[in-house]
């Protein structure tokens, strides 16, 4: 039988996670996109399916036009991924309860063997960061031997999304718990943050006021996309100084 104090101790070692993205230093090099695909076994979609809008990615780099002709300019590079909302609009619409919320890490996760592919979650996501797996895509050689054994290989007919590299979080949590301590800030990071050459992506524990991600988020000039919808996202963006 698990004692209440054991539950409290395990919860202390879990941590709650968030991300800060600095658009001022993002170069749009797409290194984060490639690293995410490698880490999370994301399928490579061919040119034909991409032309039909069936591309597969858990993070993308957005740029938009702003202003009126002839004074038109491009917006800063904007990495867009799942915002890991605390009140996610994708969760209540799933009829199979495949889109769930982790109360421990405050992350929005996907249970693939529950998903029946209704795509309701994708339609209800204001950030449009969910991808539907249309086919059993095959990786070209030698990338077919590169699959990450810590991440489920998805089949066609399911929805996919960013998980903040939950497999890395769990590995760090297990190590910290075995050593009787909490996860240390900077002990690990997500694949996108690790691959970013400009260090534009910062990941860490938002429940630790001393962590780098908490200090950056408290600078005061950050913004959270579509926060007015009440989704309470866990990703903070900085742009324009």
Write the pLDDT tens digit of every residue in 132-148: 999 887 777 777 778 89
Write the pLDDT tens digit of every residue in 150-161: 998 898 999 999
Tell me, what's the pLDDT at 241?
A: 61
| Strand ranges inside 69-110, DSSP E | 71-74, 78-81, 99-102, 107-110
C-alpha separations of 114 from 38, 41, 138, 148, 164 in Å:
24, 19, 23, 22, 20
Using CA of residue 31, residue 106, residue 166, residue 126, what is the dihedral sign?
negative
| The token pair that represents 19 in the structure block | 């991300």
Residues in contact with 27: Cβ distance below 8 Å, sequence separation at least 6, in sequence order:
77, 197, 198, 200
Under 8 Å between Cβ of 201 and 192: yes
Tell me, what's the pLDDT at 202?
A: 95
Pairwise CA distance, residues 129 & 228, whole Å: 18
Using CA of residue 67, residue 30, residue 28, residue 208, what is the dihedral sign?
positive
| The token pair that represents 45 in the structure block | 């979609």
Would you place residue 44 in the very low, low, confident or very high pLDDT band (cuts 50, 70, 90)? confident
């Amino acid at each position: 039988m698990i004692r209440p104090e054991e539950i409290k101790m395990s919860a202390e070692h879990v941590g709650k996670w968030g991300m800060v993205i600095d658009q001022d230093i993002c170069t749009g090099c797409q290194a984060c996109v490639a690293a995410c695909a490698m880490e999370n076994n994301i399928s490579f979609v061919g040119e034909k399916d991409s032309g039909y809008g069936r591309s597969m990615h858990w993070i993308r780099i957005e740029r938009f036009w702003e202003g009126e002709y002839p004074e038109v300019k491009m917006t800063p590079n904007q990495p867009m991924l799942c915002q890991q909302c605390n009140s996610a609009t994708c969760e209540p619409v799933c009829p199979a309860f495949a889109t769930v919320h982790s109360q421990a890490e405050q992350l929005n996760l996907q249970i693939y063997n529950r998903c029946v592919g209704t795509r309701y979650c994708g339609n209800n996501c204001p950030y449009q960061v969910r991808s539907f797996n249309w086919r059993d895509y095959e990786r070209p050689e030698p990338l077919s031997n590169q699959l990450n054994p810590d991440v489920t290989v998805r089949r066609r007919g399911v929805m996919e999304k960013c998980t903040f590299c939950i497999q890395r979080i769990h590995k760090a949590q297990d190590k910290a718990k075995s050593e009787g301590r909490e996860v240390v800030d900077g002990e690990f990071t997500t694949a996108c943050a690790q691959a970013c050459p400009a260090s534009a992506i910062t990941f860490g524990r938002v429940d630790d006021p001393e962590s780098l991600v908490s200090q950056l988020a408290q600078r005061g000039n950050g913004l959270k996309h579509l926060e007015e919808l009440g989704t309470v996202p866990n990703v903070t963006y900085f742009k324009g100084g």
